[in-house]
Amino acid sequence: MIGKKLRCSFCGKGEDQVRKLVAGAKAHICDECVAIADRIMKASPDDPGDSPAAKPPSWRVPPK
């Protein structure tokens, strides 16, 4: 890394704000978002998945 602080691509927290930050090819994910993603992945396929509880309010896609 060229002196740039890593950030979770999902919640935007810096690497010093989370316990762990997993680096991917083009994105990073923190342990908190991994836990949330894990919950979503394990959700029943019969679940519509659009319930407000499925996503935290802070989870948003940054505008590009």
Count of CB atoms situated within 10 Å of the CB of 40: 13
Of 35, 36, 33, nearest in space to 17 by CA: 33
Q: Which residue has the tokens 């991994």?
A: 34
Residue 30 binding Zn ion, by CB under 5 A: yes
> Residue 35 Cβ, how far from Zn ion at the closest point, in Å?
9
Residue 6 binding Zn ion, by CB under 5 A: no
Total binding residues toward Zn ion, as defined by CB under 5 A? 5
> Residue 57 Cβ, how far from Zn ion at the closest point, in Å?
13
CB 37 within 8 A of CB 9: no
| List of residues contacting Zn ion (CB under 5 A) | 8, 10-11, 30, 33
